[in-house]
Amino acid sequence: MSDSTVLSVIGESVIALEEPKVLELTRQALDSGIAPIAVINEGLTPGMTEVGKLFEEGEYFLPELLVAAEVFKAAVEIVKPHLGDAVETKGKVVLGTVEGDIHDIGKNIVALAFETNGYEVVDLGIDVPVARFADEYIASGADVVGASAMITSTLPALRRVVSDVRAKAPHAKVLIGGAPVTPALVAEYGSDAYAGDAIEAVRAVDALLSA
């Protein structure tokens, strides 16, 4: 197989959720001298991008998205030792579920989507104190703050996160999401964007950073 064929099959195998095949082909590609960065940029990433597209189109759902992300990450781990300094990211995102809220699944899936779409993620976890979002944004030199609230009672904390970030880092981009969060709250809270699911979150941040 030519290099481009190998890379194309890697991508197709990501889409087909064929974990052993992806890992085996990734090793073979590296052994055969294909540039490590090409394995990621021309094999794995196009596959993951297509998975995201299928998710947006309602062909794939959370189970498929999660399995594809795991496959992608496992393959990237194989490639990483060969990369040297060649890794470039699209940006850094500070993510967390706000104070008083212990829901982590949605936030974890959003984190996975960012990681598999070329972003570095600083995951603050759940029940994150309001001030920590802005503090970690500044300390890590991040590009975006993403805050999630999953229950109505923690919406006030989400509003305070946005205000605190605005006060400490006026130019920060702020993304909000979560079950009771609606697009209308973007204007009300003063954030920059809303996302209803993980892929939408990536698209929103892509747009914010390219604006």
Partner 1 sequence: MKNGDMTSRERIDAVLRGDTPDRVPVFTAGHGITRHMLGVSYGEMVQSSRLMASCMLAWQDLIGDDRLMAYFDMMVEAAGFGMKMVFQDDQPAYSDKDDLLIKSPDDYFKLERYDVEKAERIAMTLEVADILFTTRGDTVPVAAIVAEPLVVLGLLRGMEACLMDCIRHPEAVKFGLDVVTDVVIDYARALTRRGVSIIVNCHDYGNRSIMSEKLWMGLQGDHLRRMNAAIKEAGATLVLHNCDANPYIDAAFDDIGYLDVYQCAALPASCETWADYKQKYGSRAVLFGEWWPPDLAAVGYDEVLARSRKMIEDLAGGGGFILGPTCEYPSHGPIINAKALVDASRMYGTYPR
- Position 209 contacts partner 1 (CB under 8 A): no
- Position 4 contacts partner 1 (CB under 8 A): no
**Minimum distance, C-beta of residue 61 to partner 1, in the bound complex (Å):** 5
Quick one: 180 or 183, whose CB is closer to partner 1? 180
Task: Count CB atoms within 10 A of the CB of residue 116.
Answer: 26
Among 16, 54, 100, 206, binds partner 1 (CB under 8 A): 100
User: Contacts with partner 1 in 69-98 (CB under 8 A)?
Assistant: 70
Judge whether 130 and 98 are in contact, CB under 8 Å: yes
Which residues fall within 8 angstroms of residue 163, CB to CB, at 6 or more apart? Answer: 189, 190
Judge whether 10 and 44 are in contact, CB under 8 Å: yes
Amino acid at 141: G
Which residues in 151-206 belong to E strands, given as ranges?
A: 173-177, 193-195
Quick one: 3 or 19, whose CB is closer to partner 1? 19
Kindly report the CA angle at 42 between 37 and 46, in degrees rounded to 5? 125
Quick one: 168 or 203, whose CB is closer to partner 1? 203
The site for partner 1 (CB under 8 A) is made up of: 17, 58, 61-64, 66-67, 70, 100, 102, 104-105, 108-109, 151-153, 155, 180, 182, 197
